[in-house]
Amino acid sequence: MKFLRFVWKLFVMASVFGIGYIIGREHSFEEEEMWEEESEKENKSETATTDGPGVDKEFTYESATATKVSIVGNFNDWNKDANPLNKEDGVWKTSLNLKPGKHEYQFVINDTDWIVDPKQAVSVKNKYEGMNSVVEVG
C-alpha cells in the first residue's frame, strides 16, 4: 500500500509540476542560470558601454504609424526606457555617445515590438533565437 501511495504522489507531482520536477529539473535550471551569467560576463567584456568618453553615433528609424520608439542594446542593459527617440520631420532620431567596439541593439516600437534596424546590414543571432543589429564604433 505504501508503494502505491508513493507512485500516486509521483504521478500527482509530475502532472502538477511537470516531469522535470520529479527527475531533478530544478538542478538544470541552476546550471542554465550559471551559463547565462558566464555568457553575460563574456559579452560585457567583449562589448563596449556608454560609460566615459566615446563617439557620438546617430540612430534613425522611419515609421508613419509609430507613436513611441526607443533604442535598446548592450550599452543600456536592454532598457526600453533609457534611450527614447524623438520624432523630427517624420523621422525618429537619437544620438548616443558610445565607446569604441561592437554594440548589439534593437528598436522598440510602441513599447511592444522589438525589431532590428532595417538600415543596418550587420546582425547577429541573440539568445532568444531572434536577431540583433550590430554597429561597430571606432
Q: What is the residue type of 61?
A: Y
Q: What is the residue type of 110?
A: N
pLDDT tens per residue, range 49-102: 445 578 999 999 999 899 999 999 999 999 999 999 999 988 999 999 999 999
3-state secondary structure of 1: coil
CA distance 61 to 58: 10
CA distance 91 to 86: 8
The pTM of this model reads 0.63
Instruction: Please determine, for residue 104, whether its predicted confidence score (pLDDT) is greater than 50.
Output: yes
Tell me the sheet residues that pair with 108: 70, 114
* pLDDT recorded at residue 49: 44
Instruction: Please determine, for residue 26, whether its predicted confidence score (pLDDT) is greater than 50.
Output: no
Please report which confidence band the pLDDT of residue 10 belongs to, taking 50, 70 and 90 as the band edges. Answer: low
